[in-house]
Chains A and B, each alone.
Chain A
């Protein structure tokens, strides 16, 4: 529901206050860890910016619940990059044609350049910054390093997110399955066979880990 920020509806402001109190603690930790993030619930707008329709949304970003007020016409990518400074999500075309902006939204990959931030209300988004855990790279990221999957690196975040979604659904994919699942991610360095190698290796390593883990 689009609202004028000056005049939130009754129903929404109630929800806002209640949910905000419940999640502020977790959100503040994230805010502190990401320099440049605006005060929670109020994303930055430079002085002199004209008034535009805005909406309060709830969004889980890389596991942390956030409450954000966004311009209705902001794309998800714009909100993540400009306002949460999660700049690992890249913009290569802003037209849903290259895949550099791919994020995982409620388990499915989407082009964050082609999805409005307001539409993500109530959902959970994972960006490339959410792959590493406790400072350690995800095995998929490790495989990208070892197999030289990034050349210039600009498409890499998007390739990783598509690969992550693939491995969640199909933990040990074949080369052909990787190419099909990542078909929406362009790489102008044309390093496609390296990327596929890395994903297949991550899948195979995961299968080995699961097997050996089960035996212990």
Chain B
């Protein structure tokens, strides 16, 4: 593997400053939360850091803190911890389920919530080092190439799909991402954290090179809120979602008062479906409504040459998840 130095950070600001300082001396720095995926990218020379800033040494960054406003999940909280946390399992099952669905036990044991939402794409062109937008180039090889796992929504000029399972859950839950930089913090709604390729095809989110995810904050759930994460993979584990859905609904008896429906695996960002959300609001959830919601879910889909199968799959995922959240299956 490439040679680099490791620096153990003492705080999020310390981490951010180390990254900034490295850059100012012409060095490339990378942050390591769990570090699993970073090391794969380093081994493949897709990322070539001179300095790795280890975030695992920052005290208290992996805490899950409860307050009257909701829950704050430290950026270093592991996916395993999130999937087992009693409050999260009770109040935000969509997030616990999403975290539990990531990769494998070994990866969930070290992989963090910050790393999961900020992870790079798992497109085979990017991971094999093709000079694509994500690797500093100026084309997307999937568009005219092997795009069976690529985007049916929001693509262009890059057609990657966002790989995170927890990201759709966080968008559906209305989470806020707290970001620490060298000179302070900022808070960004999860729905504004992710960046479409037409805004900037080189990146997937608004993080600057010297910014670290300090926490992910979830608002207290409204009474009657129920949620689920449904993920379709091609083999049963250690693949990202072919299509997934995070559905959060505020139920009153049979009736859905408000719904948040966000898809994974289909777009370069977690893909929210406002038309479906409107269709479900203030309606009793029936088989028929779920089927119509499923049709509406794919209204704007634009499949590529090899991924049209994601359209019926998306319909199936939306239909079933809506019914499951409503307790209809």
Contacts and interface: CB of A to CB of B under 8 A. Distances in A.
B283 interface: no
B35 A115 contact: yes
A183 interface: yes
A97 B110 CA distance: 14
Contacts of B3: 50, 52-53, 71-73
Contacts of A109: 105-106, 109
A95 B105 contact: no
Interface residues of A, number: 31
A183 B36 contact: no
B36 A108 contact: no
A128 to B, nearest CB: 15
Given A109-B106, A183-B238, A2 B35 contact: no
Contact of B236 (A118, A162, A181, A183): A183
**Most B CB atoms within 10 A — which of A55, A72, A102?**
A72
A105 B36 CA distance: 14
Given A52-B3, A119-B35, A183 B54 contact: no
Nearest to B54: A119
Give the interface residue-count category, chain B.
20 to 34
A126 interface: no
A118 B54 CA distance: 10
Contacts of A114: 35-36, 39-40, 110
B2 A73 contact: yes
Nearest to A122: B57
A118 B8 CA distance: 9
Contact of A95 (B43, B51, B80): B43
Interface string A2-15: 10000000000000
Interface in B219-266: 236-238
Contacts of B103: 184
A2 B7 contact: yes
Given A73-B1, A75-B1, A116-B35, A110 B110 contact: yes
A99 interface: yes
Contact of B6 (A95, A102, A110, A116): A116
B104 interface: yes
Contact of B105 (A115, A118, A183): A183
**Most A CB atoms within 10 A — which of B39, B56, B106, B236?**
B106
B22 to A, nearest CB: 11
22 contacts: A2-B5, A53-B4, A72-B4, A72-B5, A73-B4, A73-B6, A95-B40, A95-B43, A99-B104, A111-B107, A114-B40, A115-B35, A115-B36, A115-B39, A116-B52, A118-B8, A118-B54, A119-B35, A181-B105, A183-B238, A184-B106, A184-B237
Instruction: Give the 5 A-B residue pairs with the shortest CB-CB distance, closest first.
Output: A184-B104, A2-B5, A53-B5, A108-B109, A72-B6
Interface of A: 1-2, 50, 52-53, 55, 71-73, 75, 94-97, 99, 102, 108-111, 113-116, 118-119, 162, 181, 183-185
Given A1-B6, A184-B104, 19 more contacts: A1-B7, A1-B8, A2-B5, A2-B51, A72-B3, A94-B43, A95-B40, A108-B109, A110-B106, A113-B39, A114-B36, A114-B110, A115-B36, A115-B39, A116-B35, A119-B54, A183-B237, A184-B105, A184-B238
